[in-house]
Amino acid sequence: MSFKQLNLIEPLLKALQLKGYDQPTPIQEQSIPHILQGRDIFGCAQTGTGKTAAFVLPMLQLLTAKAKQGNGVRALILAPTRELALQISDSITTYRGQLPIKHTLLFGGVSQRPQVASLQRHPDIIVATPGRLLDLMEQGYVSLRHLEFLVLDEADRMLDMGFIRDIRKIIAVLPSQRHTLFFSATAAPEIMKLANQLLNNPVHVSVSPVSSTAEAVKQAVYYVKKEDKRLLLKHVLTDKSIEHVLVFTRTKRGADRVAKDLNALGIRAEAIHGNKSQNAREKALQNFKQRRIRVLVATDIASRGIDVQQLSHVINYEIPEQAETYVHRIGRTGRAGNSGTALSFCTNEERPYMRDINKLIKKQVEVVNAHPFS
């Protein structure tokens, strides 16, 4: 199928052509026709599936087709992090081309003055993180009384990051008659509860079941005592073929501790998690992408949106409690046709999590017995 067959308008097709995009991804193919028909969407899709274009393209088309009434904000896209908000904003700029649609970007951790100035230019679309948006609403800089579109992107991550209260406050002031698009990487019970409150007779679209993303990645598990994990990590990293590795921990404190231990061993590492400032997170990610550091230690929340080209290895220093999280983690490697390897360090206490993982991915992860801490 081509984008033309999705009944997109010429300016959008031209923008796609300039980017070299000929065919829609599955999430785009499934979502765009329904959105153009005015249907609410519940989309279950992970990062890297093309979901941003799945909502940006039809939104731009529908906003263009309908004359603007007054100076109000017409569409709001909520994202959990500055990184994702920036990515969505870039997509709008790319696809908008010459269309008469203005947008602005609101996020915390920086001065609000330029953002307030941009709001005074009456944007059609706001892309925002919940905290900063709510702050500016409470100061009277943002009115959403005439909103036509609401998009929640990575809703599961917003809940994980504790944004549910902010989201509820924002939703409370929105018009009940609106077009709502809801995207999440998981369909956990609390996600479905929120979706059911927001969506009106939605179309459910889903791509790449979570279990299948693990197929391109070589996986192995090391059974080890908790107190030996640090030494096992040092032992594994003596393998010089592991040039560039993302290490996952369950907690922020754990991430800091692992990074500190590695640096003490002469292995350049940095930690990335929610307690780090935005600038510190961005700097660590840049250092990792540009290979100035060998190891990036991350919590699950901080890792979403990390897209590193040709990442060869992922190490689960701690096994996640949710099997789906394991699949999201190891999906950071083995991308775009490259090979990838995921190693997991599992204690006796973590064995039930490993059993759940084996069940989800429908195969037994290979056990490595030949190591000094077996």
Q: Which domains does the chain have, with CATH numbers?
A: 3-208 (3.40.50.300), 211-367 (3.40.50.300)
Q: Across the chain, what does the average pLDDT equal?
A: 89
Secondary structure class of 231 (helix, strand, coil): helix
Residue 142 has pLDDT above 90, yes or no: yes
Name the packing angle between helices 26-36 and 51-65 (round to 10°): 20
Cα 135 from Cα 336, distance rounded (Å): 39
Contact, 285 vs 306, CB < 8 A? Answer: yes
Residue type at 280 in one-letter notation: A
Mean pLDDT of the region 241-270: 92
Please report which helix (H) or strand (E) contains residue 297, including its range: strand 295-298
Nearest residue to 210 (alpha-carbon basis) of 325, 309, 304: 325
Contact, 102 vs 122, CB < 8 A? Answer: yes
328 vs 180, residue with greater confidence: 180
Contact, 224 vs 373, CB < 8 A? Answer: yes
Q: What is the pLDDT of residues 47-67, one digit of tens each?
A: 667 889 999 999 999 999 987
User: Which spans in 183-296 are helix H?
Assistant: 189-198, 229-236, 252-264, 278-289
Cα 148 from Cα 40, distance rounded (Å): 12
Burial of 366 (0-12, 13-18, 19+ CB in 10 A): exposed
Residue 291 has pLDDT above 70, yes or no: yes
